[in-house]
Amino acid sequence: MKTKPANTDFLNGVPELLILSLLSHRPMYGYQLVQAIRQSTNGTLEFGEGCVYPILHRLEAEGLLGSKREMVGGRSRVVYRINVRGRKQLASTTTAWQKIVEAVSHALHGGERGEPGLA
């Protein structure tokens, strides 16, 4: 049986960042969120879809998200919404992420020593 990697730490902190970012656009339930992650990353990030719920629950417990069971398309679904604390967290995490990307990119392209980069 072929399975996708289901490790929630497939990229440390990235799922949380993506989830907060996507929920900042509109409230979504789990399945919608998984589809949105797939579309927004062009399917680059592969993970077990069931692992999105533990992350959502943890973010909710940390007070970054709110959830409510609502009727969506005639079905009852748990819909998640980002709150003010979540938006602040998203802003600070995004800034930190951009710094990391710049730093790693800088290092991969030779850095200050002027050594040849990977590309």
Q: Please give the order of strands across the beta sheet that includes 75-82.
A: 28-29, 75-82, 65-72
Q: Which of residues 46-75 bind other proteins (CB under 8 A)?
A: 47-51, 53-55, 57-58, 61-62, 75
Would you say 27 or 107 has its CB closer to other proteins?
Answer: 27
Residues sharing a CB contact under 8 Å with residue 25, sequence separation 6 or more, in sequence order: none
Separation between Cα atoms, residue 36 and residue 28, nearest integer Å: 9
Choices 18-26, 29-37, 84-92, 103-111 (CB under 8 A): range interacting with other proteins: 29-37
Footprint on this chain of other proteins (rule: CB under 8 A)? 1-8, 29-31, 34, 47-51, 53-55, 57-58, 61-62, 75-78
